[in-house]
Amino acid sequence: MATAYYIGVMSGTSLDGVDLALMDFAQTPPKLIASDFTSMPEPLRFAIGEIVKKGEVTLQQLGEVDHQLGLLYADCINHFLTKQGLKASQIEAIGCHGQTIWHSPQSPFPFTTQIGDMSLVAVKTGITTVGDFRRKDMAYGGQGAPLVPAFHQAFFADEQRITAVLNIGGISNVSLLVPDQETIGYDIGAGNTLLDLWIETRQGKRFDQNGEWARTGQIDQQLLDILLDEPFFQQPPPKSTGRELFNLQWLQKKLAQYHAILPSISAENVQRTLLEFTAQTIADALQKINNPQHLPCILLICGGGARNVLLMERITALLPHWQVSTTTEYGLDIDYVEAAAFAWLAYQRIHHLPSNLPSVTGATQAVSLGAIFTN
């Protein structure tokens, strides 16, 4: 049986590690054949985190981290191929997002920066690699993000229903697939980022397993209102954001506003309120969808947030008219949807097919995204 194997590589804003997805595009619909995850080495995670947090880096540091990340991607892929009993020659191409360290689509000179040396990836794996996906969209006037809605449309769209595909990673983003309408996709706001930062600051943990710590606290409405008072939420799509906005400094500023009114709040109440903040911003976005035909509405959730039991409970409760499910139940493991998307983006680029959606990014036209790096 003929195959068309592509590997998608994704390391997200959480900096937890590298996701790999092996997709076969010879099948209809395309099939996720295998997947893998490699934790980010702590020194590299710290170095990237410091760059993102401070927004400052020496050229020497930037070059070294770029090189290290490229080597990590290549090592992960080579190890993955060995585990799967595959040869490099069996893979058509790799689609690698790289690691976003700064995304500034609204500045006077818009730009986005991803690191991870794609030439190293191509050379060390012996496989054609597609990277640098976002800048061409921005050259055509787009936000350069989000890019996965085009994949969501290809994989999940159904003419009999409204489908929303919600990725809750460090940032939460959504694709709205409405029959007879252009697909819309945009960043909603903070997904897991603030939750993860707060528990790491207070308890030294990377994340709140199942929302267990948040469950011990209570929602503070005063703090929730302060968190929701953010101009980004009033911006119409297309829009994108990241840790450049939703970071520890942003949270500390909001807490300072709170303390100007009330003297104290427990750490667990902050965590519970941050979880409600994520759930509320998601619900607010989905409740704005126009549904004149009263079609069934299904919400497919993926990303790390889909494993947070309390967060899933709250989203379900806030959206009583939606059937809330996960992408796993519709053919794509919740942990590997974005990696699968970059395999698809590589497939589109290799075949010179459009891979952005102007209705999503705001670009003036649909184009085939990504730069091709050969070994």
Is 14 assigned a ligand-binding role in the annotation? yes
Is 137 assigned a ligand-binding role in the annotation? no
Bridge partners, residue 99, by sequence: 115
Residue 12, pLDDT score? 82
DSSP 220-285: -HHHHHHHH--GGGGSPSS----TTTSSHHHHHHHHHHHHTTSS---HHHHHHHHHHHHHHHHHHH
Place of tokens 């995304």: 103
Residues 320 and 351 in one domain: no
Residue 337, pLDDT score? 95
CA atoms within 13 A on the CB side of 94: 34
Place of tokens 């919600």: 166
Is 13 assigned a ligand-binding role in the annotation? yes
Residues 362 and 303 in one domain: no
Residues 290 and 343 in one domain: no
Is 19 assigned a ligand-binding role in the annotation? yes
Bridge partners, residue 36, by sequence: 20
Here the CATH number for the domain that contains residue 358 is 3.30.420.40
Residues 128 and 248 in one domain: no
Residues 273 and 213 in one domain: yes
Total of domains in the chain: 2
pTM: 0.88
Q: Per-block average pLDDT, block size 10, for the chain (375 residues)?
A: 94 90 94 96 95 92 98 98 98 97 92 97 98 97 92 94 96 94 93 96 95 98 98 92 92 97 96 98 94 94 96 98 96 95 98 95 96 96
Residue 320, pLDDT score? 96
Residues 30 and 89 in one domain: yes
Question: What residue numbers bound the domain in which 252 lies?
Answer: 148-330
Residues 167 and 305 in one domain: yes
Beta carbons within 8 Å of 315's beta carbon, 6+ residues apart: 279, 282, 283, 299, 301, 324
What are 255's two structure tokens? Answer: 């807490």
Residues 248 and 342 in one domain: no
Q: How far apart are CA 304 and CA 241, in angstroms?
A: 18
Is 15 assigned a ligand-binding role in the annotation? yes
Is 225 assigned a ligand-binding role in the annotation? no
Is 28 assigned a ligand-binding role in the annotation? no
Residues 170 and 135 in one domain: no
Residues 153 and 299 in one domain: yes
Residues 17 and 156 in one domain: no
Residues 175 and 322 in one domain: yes
Place of tokens 């035909």: 293
Residue 244, pLDDT score? 87
